[in-house]
Chain A
């Protein structure tokens, strides 16, 4: 099931915004497409990103996927666990955030609901 507590992008990312902080991760569909994740390239806390920047990269053996952020702002937290256990994303993509950003701007037009995302991946296949 696709959690309904958050928003999605057509680039297969999820964004959960609470108290002005956006937690960003990739969807279960994305982790399945990538296969075994072996490395996550993370930004540093304090780095700032504009909308559309590659904020992190998720790598499997045969693919690499840039996380292009739809929210601009400063990184306030990164998921340090992923350094040693990138497979956490494979195990539970929705419970494993990658970065958290203090939101200064959002590209609302890029965000879709859980239902819309479900339709989107059905269409893509």
Chain B
């Protein structure tokens, strides 16, 4: 089973073709473009018949693993089931040109406004922009809004964003890209924000605080009110990283927690597929006073004559962050999900939290659980001291899970837990699936102590064994 699979470039046979165009039906004209602008030769592309092309990609897909193949408890990524009706709906809009006349796109605009309203309700905010193409893009957009807010108030010294050390790596990277300095604060012993550290960190340079709640440890920030108070009193704004929103929908809203601006990941919380790394969508929602700063264009109800319009006349806007209006096709899928669930989003969150706690309780006697209390939609565990003494580390446990048919959890994150294993089951998994996974984790824990060599050898069932990452990075080969 272990063998390399030919690249599409290695399948090329001269003269084969996979396309078919009608013959040119207009009179052919010569010399339309001067030779100096024309390429000297054809592109070096493979020549493949349609059937060989179809088999190539079909077989490549079989060397991959998605939620439809099996349990995928990847922490902070919310790998929930991607409902199939979502996938069918975008085709209704495939032929809609982004610059089609306003009177021919009313359905698309109403859809965007409806998604905006539903997301605003779920998060307790006033208004959304659907432009950002991904979570990180949303973060950047949100931080630009914070920057513009302070600039508009001529509060130019507010150049620092405070980020807890447990934050997703994107937080400081986005803040840096938005032109901020980053002040990192350590977490308290219970995994929450250290209030004293926060008090010491805020000041006249504070532009805002970025926080994930629940945190990347899967814990709800119990002192959230105090946190909000400290930041607001210092003149800063609160940014909510919505990566973990799946824990709290219908239970508590970021807007009610005191957050001023946030992003969501439609590809996490709202069930649109991750697509192997995209396309996603990262809407940003804001409180009323930040609406003027949203990126252009903004979708509004057309007050004078009914319907929905795209508003470009936004003098305080941060400007445009993407071409056209966002990843519309992804927004369509999220709308299908929002329609399907409605208020059912609360049930989704409750069960996401229940599933995570169920696994936590059933693994606590065999794995180290550094913050062992009721968790939200995910929790962090780690190999025990005994396992590490036998030379079994997190990476080995991950690879052993692969052999048992599971996608491993997120590993080595958050950074504040040594050898972290972050498990997020989501609500769409049955108890039976969870029980089987728990048994696999327990079997691996047993092997780790009794037969560590077996764990080190994993994975053995995959098309390739453990790859040489160091060789790849030292001597990059990035094309055929």
Contact = CB atoms under 8 A, between A and B. Distances in A.
A62 B412 contact: yes
A33 B57 CA distance: 40
A86 B470 CA distance: 12
Contacts, number: 14
Report the contact-size class of chain B (Cβ under 8 Å from the partner). Answer: under 10
Interface residues of A, number: 8
Nearest to B475: A38
B33 interface: no
A122 interface: no
Contacts of B470: 36, 38, 61
A62 B395 CA distance: 12
A39 interface: yes
A62 B413 CA distance: 11
B186 to A, nearest CB: 14
Interface string A51-75: 0000000010110000000000000
Contacts of A87: 474
Interface in B457-480: 469-470, 473-474
B474 A38 contact: yes
Contacts of A61: 469-470, 473
Interface in A23-38: 36, 38
A59 to B, nearest CB: 8
Nearest to A61: B469
B473 to A, nearest CB: 4
A36 B412 CA distance: 17
Interface string B218-243: 00000000000000000000000000
A86 B473 CA distance: 11
A43 to B, nearest CB: 18
Nearest to A36: B470
B130 to A, nearest CB: 33
A87 B470 CA distance: 11
Interface of A: 36, 38-39, 59, 61-62, 86-87
Interface of B: 412, 469-470, 473-474
14 contacts: A36-B470, A38-B470, A38-B473, A38-B474, A39-B473, A39-B474, A59-B473, A61-B469, A61-B470, A61-B473, A62-B412, A62-B469, A86-B474, A87-B474
Ranked nearest first, the 9 interchain pairs of A and B with the lowest CB-CB distance are A38-B473, A36-B470, A61-B469, A38-B474, A61-B473, A61-B470, A38-B470, A62-B412, A39-B473
Given A38-B470, A38-B473, 12 more contacts: A36-B470, A38-B474, A39-B473, A39-B474, A59-B473, A61-B469, A61-B470, A61-B473, A62-B412, A62-B469, A86-B474, A87-B474
